[in-house]
Structure 1
Amino acid sequence: MPGELSYILFLLLRMAVAAAFVVSASIITERSGPVIGALVATLPISAGPSYVFLAIDHDAAFIAQGALSSLPVNAATIFLGLTYVVLAQRHSFAVSVGCAVAVWIGLASIIRLFYWTLAAGLAVNLVAFGICIPLLARYRHVKMPLVTRRWYDIPFRALLVATLVAIVVSTSGWVGPRVSGVIALYPIVFTSMMVILHPRIGGPPTAAVLANSAWGLLGFGMAIAVLHVGAANFGSAMGLSLGLATCIVWNLTLWWNGRRKPLAVVS
């Protein structure tokens, strides 16, 4: 098999694997309500496959450096969420989604201009979440209407995440780890939820899912920091494993604490 054809087939396989993963997680998100859906949405559904495929093509130093660039981008994502949540209460789909994506692109463009250390990335996340979590709290509790899936939902989500993986994998060799880390953190799951759910169930219920995602997204930022430290000291496989474990343990803790509160009220 010619080398170019082999590369194309391998790229298509990676795109298909990532698409299947994000579609499955998105379906769970829709069926489980805003709280559980938010916890699923903040797992590394799109960034995870991107980093796995980057690790196949590059060494641990590349992954560690990419994670450093991804860490402050996580702060941009929480501002995307805040922008959408606030605007979606009163404004149209186009205004809410368009402004939210524009905020992310603007912040990510600024972030990529700087060389980030672990301490600086963590500090930016702490400031960003310290601002956004209290502002999002009032929008968390909205009844989730029944969602009727349409024929194009799954192909649309699959296309989004497959395109992201293709861009990250195919450009990583010449854009380097810093830009790859920024691209890998584009919030595919949040974008697809906004695009699909807002026209169907309205802005406030869709915004509730994103508002409930704030604490989970904070844990995702910690997982990126763990990925950096793990990849730099123990290799890509260990870094990716530790980062995933951090996300899962953090979100399970949030879920458990959420279950304990109603029980405490009843008792």
Structure 2
Amino acid sequence: MPPELHFILLLVLRMAIAAAFVVSASIITERSGPVIGALVATLPISAGPSYVFLALDHDAAFIAQGALSSLPVNAATIILGLTYVVLAQRHSLLVSCGAAVGVWIVLASIIRMFDWTLTAGLAVNLVAFGICIPLLARYRHVKMPLVTRRWYDIPFRASLVATLVAIVVSTSGWVGPRVSGVIALYPIVFTSMMVILHPRIGGPPTAAVLANSAWGLLGFGMAIAVLHVGALNFGSAIGLSLALATCITWNLTLWWNGRRKRMASA
């Protein structure tokens, strides 16, 4: 088989696997409400497949370095969320989503310019989440209207994630781990939620889903740090496994804590 055809077929297979993953997660999110949906949305739905496929093409040092660049990008994502949540209370999808994505691109462009250490990345996350989580708290509790899924919703999300995987995998060899780590963490799930839900149920309910995602996103940042340390010391496979376990454990803890509080108040 010619090398070019082998690369194309392998790339298509990877895109299909990523798309199948996001379709499954999307169905769970839509059927579980804003709180559980937010926790599912902060699992590594798009970044996970991107990093798995990067690990198949590159060594553990590449993955560890990429994770260092991804860590401060996670802080940019929570700022994207805050920007959208505030603007969505009164403005259209175009204004709210456009401004949020614009803020993320500016911050990611700045992040790309620096060589990050684990300490610096964690510090940026602590500052960003320390500011954003209290500001997002007032927007979390909104009555959610019934969402009717349309035929193109899940294919749209799947195509976005598949495209992201294709970009990360096909460009990683010449852009290097720093840029790959930035691209891998583009908030595809958040963006697709804005685009799909805002016109249908309005800005405030859509914003509530993103506002509820703040604590889950904090755990995702911890998972990125675990990925860096794990890949650096034990290899990519163990690093990725530990990062996924961190995300799942953190989100299950959040879910259990919320359930316990609801039962106590009842």
TM-score interval, normalised by the smaller of the two chains: over 0.9
**Aligned-pair CA distance for 1:109:** 0.4
Residue 180 (structure 1) aligns with: 180
Maintained 8 Å contact 1:65/1:177: yes
Name the SS of the counterpart of 2:143 in structure 1: coil
CA deviation digits over 1:188-228, x for unaligned, max 9? 10000000000000001100000000000000000000000
Runs of 4+ in 1 over 2 A off after TM superposition: none
**Aligned-pair CA distance for 1:153:** 1.0
CA deviation digits over 1:55-79, x for unaligned, max 9? 0000000000000000000000000
CA deviation digits over 1:45-94, x for unaligned, max 9? 00000000000000000000000000000000000000000000000110
Distance across 2 between alignment mates of 1:165 and 1:187: 13
Provide the TM-score with structure 2 as the length reference. 0.99
Question: What 5-or-longer segments of structure 1 have no aligned partner?
Answer: none
CA deviation digits over 1:138-159, x for unaligned, max 9? 0000111111111211221111
Distance across 2 between alignment mates of 1:15 and 1:123: 34
Name the SS of the counterpart of 1:85 in structure 2: helix
Residue 142 (structure 1) aligns with: 142
Provide the TM-score with structure 1 as the length reference. 0.98
**Aligned-pair CA distance for 1:263:** 1.6
CA deviation digits over 1:101-136, x for unaligned, max 9? 001000000000000000000000000000000000
Maintained 8 Å contact 1:26/1:189: no
Pairwise CA RMSD of aligned residues? Answer: 0.7
Question: What 5-or-longer segments of structure 2 have no aligned partner?
Answer: none
Name the SS of the counterpart of 1:143 in structure 2: coil
Q: Which moved more, 1:107-116 or 1:142-151?
A: 142-151
Name the SS of the counterpart of 1:32 in structure 2: helix
Residue 19 (structure 1) aligns with: 19
Name the SS of the counterpart of 1:227 in structure 2: helix
Distance across 1 between alignment mates of 2:15 and 2:211: 29
Distance across 2 between alignment mates of 1:251 and 1:158: 23
**Aligned-pair CA distance for 1:18:** 0.3
Maintained 8 Å contact 1:67/1:224: yes
Distance across 1 between alignment mates of 2:159 and 2:18: 10
CA deviation digits over 1:27-57, x for unaligned, max 9? 2111111100000000000000000000000
Distance across 2 between alignment mates of 1:39 and 1:235: 28
Distance across 1 between alignment mates of 2:43 and 2:154: 19
**Aligned-pair CA distance for 1:96:** 0.4
Maintained 8 Å contact 1:63/1:236: yes
Name the count of aligned residue pairs: 265
Distance across 1 between alignment mates of 2:226 and 2:159: 29
Maintained 8 Å contact 1:71/1:225: yes
Distance across 2 between alignment mates of 1:216 and 1:121: 17
Residue 193 (structure 1) aligns with: 193
Maintained 8 Å contact 1:69/1:182: yes
Residue 95 (structure 1) aligns with: 95
